[in-house]
Structure 1
Amino acid sequence: MPRVLIVLLCTAGVVVTLAGIREIGSIVGPVLLALVLVLAVSPVRTWLQKHGAPGWTLVAVPLIIVLSVLLGMVAILTVAVVQMATLAPTYDTQFNQLVVEAQRLAGRLGIGTKQMNEALTSFDPGKIFELAQGVLSGLLNAFSALILVIVLLLAMCLDAQAFSRVLSMGTARRPKLIGALGDFARKTRRYLLVSTVFGLVCSALDVTVLWLLGVPLPLLWGVLALITNYIPNIGFVIGLIPPALLGLLEGGPKTMIFVIIAYMLINFVVQSLIQPKFLGDAVGLSTTVTFLSLILWTFVLGPLGALLAIPLSLLARTLLIDSDPDGDWAAALISGEVPPGRGTKANSPHVA
């Protein structure tokens, strides 16, 4: 078949598949979330089994850990939405003062027009929080099918041991696929572990800065920063919006600028300089692919897709590339790393 036709058919297949996943996203999203959570706590089940724990604990302990994390995230997001809605109307006076100062500054700069003054005067301070509240509400809605997630978690925890045995039986027949699935589980756990540890470090530093600057509810925004840390590339920006806006209304533009600078410095040092050294090859995705996967999975599954963008991309890589014996070139393309010994040699006939 002509290569162009193959490319078009593959592209059409991808589009149809993603469109189908999007149509049943309310089912696929909770299933994938449950899968990632079960993989995250699977070492606990392995440890209990190795130490001869009773059979019921192999299901109960991992399930309790996962449910505690899941319910904790839902509670935190709920509190964040309520607090944002409650605090917004209390800053009318501060907002009006900021409007007056902005009008004076615009007048001194010679850009004070009638339209600008009318826009500033008619602006509702509650509208400042609409973006933050929309993001938080979207994340909260992503966990709205909580009963389905809990049932799936219970089912997956019950089947985890049998599923592991089935995979072990298939090693001889499908070694490439079984190895790829094992790598997916390992990389997903490592990604979640490293992201959680460094997310806690960033959150602790964020809470300290917000407390020193007098921003309301610093602990709440620190926990929110931990949750948004799992969203690659733009997660810290989402976690920055609420405290920055509260800093503006509580202490003025200077406080807001300090909050923004502090968040940017903390994010750059911890997540851009230190975290990649510990993460290593856990992700196996280039920066461009990571950003594109964030856009893609957010479009397909909404806020839950943004939270699970990296694990979902790793799963797609496992099923489509790593399980293919001839997929080394494609794996190097999306990871940006050439496997050892696979580089182009100087005496290659393809080199001019």
Structure 2
Amino acid sequence: MFEDIKIPGYLNKIVVLVLVILALAGLKLVSSILGPILIAMFFSILIYPFLKWLNRRGFSYNVSIIITLVGFAVLGGVIIEILYFSLSQMVSALPSFSINSSSALSSEANYVAQTIISHFPMGAVTDIVGTAVFVFFATIFMIYEIPNLKVRLEKGLGKDNNNLNEMIGLIDTFIKYFLIRVKVNLFAALGFIGIFLAFDINFALLWGILTFFLGFIPYLGIMIAAIPPILATWAKYGIQGAILITILFIIVNTIAESIIFPRQTGKGLQMSIYVVFVSLFVWGWILGPSGFLLAIPLTIIVIKYLEKYDETRWLAILMTSDDDENNVNE
């Protein structure tokens, strides 16, 4: 009786959009715990190639796991300690921060600085460190489980399962992209730390770590990371020092983003610039700060999923870009 009923195409698209909205709303409800878990997952995916590299070098699986976990524990512990002490000292120093009134545009700069300070979540330092500790231990357990997880999936789904192969291929793409991103961000962070040390700017390591992680946020990350040290330089050396350090930032960032990154990635992610920009705010709203860091990989997952079905492939096409589009108006 109902077999002859044909659902209009436009109704299918409406249903898909409603389901997407409901899914995003559900993610929003569990964002406080989902965000750190996703960050731990991506960290473990990034670290896993190092474990495989050790295994290929002749180390046994157990020895490779131990070396990887110890190395990550040492690195993670150092970063958490730097974050804790630097953030604690910075919070205690913020109330007395001001730019010398003899400096040009000092009143405007002080207004910007005080606005940032007044909105700085003073009580969030403990939460930031607590989240970092959770991510640290969650990543350790995930690193240990990843090889076993792959074996279990292959046993349950079969090695020739299309969905499993697509997922593995997507993870490999993420690993390649993020390893390149890590190299570029590390170059920028070390360059900025060198500039901070040369200018004798306080909390140089903190600003470097901030630059490294915010570098994963397209377009906006580096600009946000540059604001605190520029204001600190303005307070110490006046507007001339702020202008000089800004120029140095631009030079380092241009080398990293316009020379190193394109040569490493080739054509890139084939994502619309508009989609990249909007995805930052969408995932930031859904997951909080972790959403900004994971916006690109999460958007790629959505696009790959939409491409699999006829009803949603049009959405995937809208979200991607093509090199041929540049020749449309020629």
TM-score (norm 1): 0.75
CA contact (8 A) 2:217 2:293 kept: yes
Q: 1:337 to 1:138 in 2, by over 3 A?
A: farther
Look up the match of 2:36.
30
Does structure 1 residue 43 correspond to structure 2 residue 72?
no
CA gap 1:276/1:196 in 2 versus in 1, 3 angstroms: same
Does residue 243 of structure 1 match 2:249?
Answer: no
Q: Which residue of 2 aligns with 1:106?
A: none
How large is the Cα RMSD of the aligned pairs? 3.5
Deviation at 1:125, TM superposition (A): 8.5
Once structures 1 and 2 are overlaid, which stretch shifts more, 300-309 or 125-134? 125-134
2:88 alignment counterpart = 82
Aligned to 1:337: 322
Asked whether the 8 Å contact 1:297–1:306 carries over to 2, the reply is: yes
> Which of residues 269, 277, 284 is equivalent to 1:298?
284
Aligned counterpart for 1:20 among listed residues 19, 26, 31: 26
Alignment partner of 1:186 out of 159, 169, 172? 172
Please list the CA deviations of residues 139-193 of structure 1 after superposition, one character each: whole Å capped at 9, or x if unmatched. 9745634564355334433432232224445356632x22321222112212221
Distance 1:194 1:267 in 2: 15
Provide, for residues 33-77 of structure 1, a one-character-per-residue CA deviation record: whole Å limited to 9, x for no partner: 221111112223323444564443354333334444444443343
Do 1:293 and 1:309's aligned partners in 2 also have CA atoms closer than 8 Å?
Answer: yes
Q: How does 1:201-240 map to 2 (within 5 A)?
A: 201-240=187-226
- CA distance in structure 2 between the aligned counterparts of 1:139 and 1:286, rounded to whole angstroms: 36
Match of 1:271 among 257, 265, 277: 257
Change over 3 Å in CA distance of 1:55–1:203 after alignment to 2: closer
Equivalence for 1:347: none
Report the residue type matching 1:204 in the other structure: L
User: Is this contact kept in 1: 2:84–2:125, CA < 8 A?
Assistant: no
Aligned to 2:63: 57
Are the aligned partners of 2:113 and 2:231 in contact in 1 as well (CA < 8 Å)?
no
Q: SS state of the match for residue 100, structure 2?
A: helix
Aligned counterpart, 1:95: 100
Taking every aligned residue pair, what percent have the same amino acid on both sides? 21
Query: Which of 282, 288, 294 lines up with 1:308 in the alignment?
Result: 294
Residue 243 of structure 1: CA displacement?
Answer: 0.6
1:242 deviates by 0.9
How many angstroms apart in 2 are the aligned matches of 1:233 and 1:253?
A: 25
Whichever of the two has the greater Rg, that structure is 1
Contact between 2:80 and 2:133, CA under 8 Å: does it hold in 1? no
SS at the partner of 1:216? coil
Contact 2:94–2:117 (CA under 8 A) maintained in structure 1 = no
Q: Which residue of 2 aligns with 1:10?
A: 16
Number of residue-to-residue matches in the alignment = 317
Structure 1's unaligned 5+ residue stretches are 104-119, 344-352
